[in-house]
Structure 1
Amino acid sequence: MSPDHNIPLEQKTSIQKDHAPDLAGDTADGEACDVVLDPKKETKLLAKLDAAFVPIIMLTYLSCFLDRSNIGNVKVAHMPEDINASDSQFSTAVSIFYVTYVVFEAPWAVLMKKLTPRNILTALCIVWSLTTIFTGFIESVGSLYATRLILGACEAGLFPCLNLYLTMVYRREEQAKRVSYLMSCAAISGAVGGLLAYGLLHMDGIGGKAGWRWVYIIEGLFSALCAILIWFGLPNNPAEAYFLNEEERWMMRVRNEQRRKYMGSDQFSWEEMRIALSDPKLFFSGVIQFCQDILLYGFSTFLPTILGGMGYNSLMSNVLTVPVYIWAAMIFVAIAFCSDRYSKFASYIFTTNIFGIIGYILLLTVKNTAVQYFATFLIGITTYTAVGLNVAWLNVNIAPQYRRALEIGLQQTMGNCAGIVAGQVYRSSPYVLGNAFSLGSLVVSQFAVTGYGLYLRRENKMKEQILCGEREDSRRVQTGDGAVDFKYLY
């Protein structure tokens, strides 16, 4: 018997950390997986990672969503009239963003590993920030179309790349909460965008420029600052981050080894791409994402105009969006914490969608302004929550990393096609067609969520039967998340 046989695991961890260099080169995968990290030290490590990475990721996604959705804020400030855009041309400008957005999402996600996270994210951020600034100087509809196309191509890489970066830092059971931080920025951007628009629109006439032009210029400059934060704040290898001490870097290497099956090989594989393209989970998740993104893009882009249709002026329409977005962000983060804690996804998405269905029914059938405004809070419960949880749901159920990269990219491509649709169905206030379409999308999503959950449950049961020897393993895919010991979360 070895002399340290009776030493508690926590003490063993402290002893083993002195041999941190061994894990990087000489320690077998199995030995690394047997190491049990001190829970208190690991909690401290996670807090340190959150403090360093999450603010940068959140600010960057916040700036991205501001630059994308501010077109809804400036509409009520006479931007279409200033560039001689008709209602249909303005709707086309909203939709055209998603043409390049959906085309470039999957390629950027797959290329992130080769180009490195810092390089790709910084470059994309610089280009879209300059594009946003230049939008403040456009004089024609054609110029608006051009800037929206460039913006879509650049912002396409942000969410899938940031999402994949989170998988490089956190374990499966730690990801829903962090994805919630990321997605809550979409809601926060609505609140911030409304407040910024309210303030910046008061700059109308300064420097001889309309208020809506200052919205684009100031928000574009904010995005440029985010590019600097990305370059200096997001290391290509989080396990070797500058702010970690030697023990914490050792703990990161242990964590990486323990989730090696989830991450997989660093080598690109066409076989993994083929498996990803035929994965039923991708299609279930893509349908859900499309349906939920109808709400995300319709609601977040046109909420100021929806409120304007209730009788509020342009400034109040922007201000009244703020409480709705703050409420939506708070609900999303709270539900994501529960999702991480209990490793549940389908039940939470299904439940929050019910609130959205009730909200749209009220919006469509009740004429009272107070009730309609209350309905926007109900819709806010599901608008961001379901989108974010669905991304995390796919994240934790796909392995290894190149398979995950392609599926996340394609899921976002499928989902963001909703942006093209939303721009066409939300044409004129009071947006009866758009709200009815969103209601129908929620109903379809409920069926897809139920089917997805039942499919994963069946797959888990099949794996259990194979492990118990009750059935032969004749499945087409038996590697990565197809391994019999990989349990799907639903």
Structure 2
Amino acid sequence: MSDEKTSLSERNVASPKFPSEELYRPDVNTDGIDERKLMRRIDLHVIPWLALLYFLNFMDRGNIGNAKLYNMTTDIHVSDTQYLIALTVYFFPYALFEPASNVILRRLRPSIWLSSMIFLWGVVMVCHGLIHNYGGLVTVRVLLGVTEAGMYPGIVFYISSWYKRAEMGIKIAFFFSSATISGAFSGLISVAIHNMDGVGNLAGWRWIFILEGLLTVVVACASYYMIQDYPETARFLSEEERVFVIRRLQDDVRLSAAGEKYKKKYIWQSLKDWKTWAAMGIYMGFDGPLYAFSLFLPTIINKLGFTATRANLLTVPPYAWGCITTIAVGILGDRLGTRYYLSLFLFATGAAGYIILIASRSPALSYFAVFLGASAIYPSIPNNVAWVAGNVEGAYKRSVTLGMAIGFGNINGADFFKQYRAKDSPWYTTGHAIVLAYIVVGIISITVMRIGLQIENARRDRGERDEIIDGIDNKRADAKNGHYPSVEAARLDKGDQWSGFRYSL
């Protein structure tokens, strides 16, 4: 037995592997599995399709900004104020249904839940091209918020069910980089589709919605087959490979990888955890700026003196740069093993970009600041998403935490639409100032998260969180931390609250 001065948590961290009798499916021999080859195959089956789905998700959500440049608001007789209201109402159902959607996703199959959402929002997107008045615009934006609500948090949770914590940054970065590619292609596609102006007696902006919506519907039908659900049921894996992946996740303190039965207490664990509320502040810091950037970038560039078509084309380089930096930061974050300082640098870069936008009265300088914004906002999202998801153990708890954090971040995005007012063009000082304020909130929130996690890790190193475990003599164990028949029982019940769990900084 270890020295009494060595805490229970320290003993378990020092021995990350399970004893053989505690392995998942101990009857299955996985010695012949090539881990690198298997993970490459999983990458090819999981990440590219998710990237395609998020590409369509982001394009369908933001193409209204491109359509506006082609006289959409004039054709349906919508004022600037009404347009901003229509953009805002999208976020209320979007944010409201995100936590619930993630719980449903866990209880159902991702292939069914995610694919159904994709199909429905594709139909709603087609309906965007058929509206004729303000009421129709508000209706389709509300419905789009409802049908898209579970996609982003669902994908993040789904990725966390396949990969170790130290691998999630680059995986999320690859799938999220499709958002920047979507932003770039949205401008190009809008310019191309607008050439259909007059076909079928429909305006070009209507064809933007109709064709992009139909593409989403087609992809949704394929998704029922392409999405592979969880490792324990994946069709492209052999039985030995499924067992290997689950054991691999369990070694990374992902005990819920083998399946977790729904219990209400897992929901309450998330609601009572301070990390959930700190994560909501972090998401507030980058989600609001993300929507302000993606929905208003074409308008901002247009008001700097460029025509509608040229403004749409000039959105491409900032998004391309954002894609490059997103992937680079994803790789760097996983290799460094720490995310706080990287996140701090990104938020600071974003703050610098918006300070320039506030002060600048030069189109060229403002356009340069847009690049700073893209290189900060987009990489911040996968970096912080991986940080939050990696520090929450338990499938249902993680799904609720991600749903709440992402939902809160999105509801704050609604605030920007009333700040980017036509009367403030071309410089939009008020809107840029609000974005800067949100970035400051993000800086404060990541600092709170870092300090809190560091303090909690230190407490666990000192044995202050040790549980009473039957058969283990541990002088530091305290009944207030729980009493369990085995270490594995404590890990399964407490998730990241278990004394041996160490938070990544």
**Is TM (by shorter chain) over 0.5?**
yes
- Aligned match for 2:313, one of 314, 319, 327: 319
Aligned to 1:299: 293
* Partner deviation per Cα, 1:266-290 (whole Å, 9 max, x = no partner): 2111111111101111111101101
* Partner deviation per Cα, 1:225-261 (whole Å, 9 max, x = no partner): 2212311111233344333345433422432543542
Tell me if structure 1 keeps the 8 A contact 2:289–2:413. no
Amino acid at match of 1:363: L
Amino acid at match of 2:410: N
Tell me if structure 2 keeps the 8 A contact 1:169–1:239. no
Amino acid at match of 1:412: I
Distance 2:91 2:186 in 1: 20
Aligned to 2:324: 330
Distance 1:304 1:473 in 2: 59
Aligned to 1:99: 92
Aligned to 2:14: none
Aligned to 1:454: 451
- Aligned pairs for 1:194-205 within 5 A: 194-205=187-198
Distance 1:458 1:314, change over 3 A: same
Distance 1:202 1:246, change over 3 A: same
Aligned to 2:398: 404
Aligned to 1:131: 124
Distance 1:470 1:404 in 2: 32
Distance 2:342 2:291 in 1: 21
Note if 1:122 corresponds to 2:112.
no
Distance 1:246 1:111, change over 3 A: closer
Distance 1:66 1:304, change over 3 A: same
Distance 2:340 2:68 in 1: 36
Aligned to 1:67: 60
Aligned to 2:356: 362
* Partner deviation per Cα, 1:6-46 (whole Å, 9 max, x = no partner): xxxxxxxxxxxxxxxxx9xxx7434779x997799211111
Tell me if structure 1 keeps the 8 A contact 2:180–2:378. yes
SS for the counterpart of 1:235 is coil
- Aligned match for 2:409, one of 415, 428, 432: 415
1:120 Cα deviation after fit: 0.6
Amino acid at match of 1:277: L
* Partner deviation per Cα, 1:22-79 (whole Å, 9 max, x = no partner): x9xxx7434779x997799211111111111111101111111111111111111111
1:387 Cα deviation after fit: 2.0
Amino acid at match of 1:360: Y
1:311 Cα deviation after fit: 0.4
SS for the counterpart of 2:62 is helix
Amino acid at match of 1:225: V
* Percent pairwise identity: 32
Distance 1:389 1:298, change over 3 A: same
* Partner deviation per Cα, 1:400-447 (whole Å, 9 max, x = no partner): 111111111111111111221121212222321110101111122111
Amino acid at match of 2:330: A
How many residue pairs get matched?
A: 464
1:474 Cα deviation after fit: 7.5
SS for the counterpart of 2:450 is helix
Tell me if structure 1 keeps the 8 A contact 2:184–2:320. yes
Note if 1:46 corresponds to 2:43.
no
Distance 2:212 2:297 in 1: 19
* Partner deviation per Cα, 1:329-367 (whole Å, 9 max, x = no partner): 110111111111222111111101111111111111121
Distance 1:359 1:37, change over 3 A: farther
Distance 2:166 2:302 in 1: 42
Tell me if structure 1 keeps the 8 A contact 2:285–2:442. yes
Distance 2:356 2:479 in 1: 50
Tell me if structure 2 keeps the 8 A contact 1:63–1:223. yes
Distance 1:432 1:145, change over 3 A: same
What is the TM-score normalised by the length of structure 2?
0.87
SS for the counterpart of 2:52 is helix
What is the TM-score normalised by the length of structure 1?
0.90
Distance 1:318 1:109, change over 3 A: same
- Aligned pairs for 1:346-361 within 5 A: 346-361=340-355
Q: Which runs of 5+ in 2 are unaligned?
A: 1-17, 467-473, 483-489
Aligned to 2:13: none
Tell me if structure 2 keeps the 8 A contact 1:56–1:226. no
Distance 1:475 1:190 in 2: 51
Tell me if structure 1 keeps the 8 A contact 2:356–2:366. yes
Note if 1:480 corresponds to 2:487.
no
SS for the counterpart of 2:389 is helix
Distance 2:205 2:190 in 1: 8
Tell me if structure 1 keeps the 8 A contact 2:29–2:240. no
Distance 1:200 1:476 in 2: 61
Aligned to 1:221: 214
Amino acid at match of 2:46: F
Amino acid at match of 2:285: C
Tell me if structure 1 keeps the 8 A contact 2:285–2:443. no
* Partner deviation per Cα, 1:205-244 (whole Å, 9 max, x = no partner): 1221111111101110121122123111112333443333
* Partner deviation per Cα, 1:147-178 (whole Å, 9 max, x = no partner): 11111011101111111111221111111111
Aligned to 1:17: none
Q: Which moved more, 1:207-216 or 1:260-269?
A: 260-269
Note if 1:374 corresponds to 2:373.
no
Distance 1:313 1:32, change over 3 A: same
Aligned to 1:4: none
Distance 1:46 1:426 in 2: 45
Distance 2:479 2:308 in 1: 62
Aligned to 1:11: none
* Partner deviation per Cα, 1:289-336 (whole Å, 9 max, x = no partner): 012112100011100001011100100111011110011011011111
Distance 1:439 1:38, change over 3 A: farther
- Aligned pairs for 1:279-290 within 5 A: 279-290=273-284
Tell me if structure 2 keeps the 8 A contact 1:136–1:214. yes
Q: Which runs of 5+ in 1 are unaligned?
A: 1-22
Aligned to 2:379: 385
Aligned to 1:113: 106
- Aligned match for 2:438, one of 438, 441, 446: 441
Tell me if structure 2 keeps the 8 A contact 1:184–1:333. yes
